[in-house]
Homo-oligomer: A and B are copies of this chain.
Amino acid sequence: MNNHVRELRGDQGWSQADLAERLDVSRQTVNAIETGKYDPSLPLAFKIAALFGRPIESIFDPGA
């Protein structure tokens, strides 16, 4: 599952640690999501979407 978290985070000038703190998850979790190691849970996806003020569908792309 592709996503645009890294770009959106960059637009805000945040480090992975900054974003992790705002999402209340670990820095490794943010890194894993950005590098595509695994997908976030649905609740975390909602948090991410809310933080960036965009719909989930515009951030995450199921691709196939």
Binding site for B on A (CB under 8 A): 1, 39-43, 45-47, 49, 55-57, 60, 62
How many copies the complex holds: the figure is: 2
CA distance A42 to B2 in the complex (A): 12
Selected contact of A43 from candidates B43, B49, B57, B62, CB within 8 Å: B62
Complex: A42 Cα to B60 Cα, angstroms:
9
Most buried by B among A1, A43, A55: A43
Known: A42-B42, A49-B57. 9 other contacts (CB 8 A): A39-B41, A39-B42, A39-B43, A40-B42, A41-B42, A43-B62, A55-B57, A56-B56, A56-B57
Whole-angstrom CA separation of A40 from B45 in the bound complex = 12
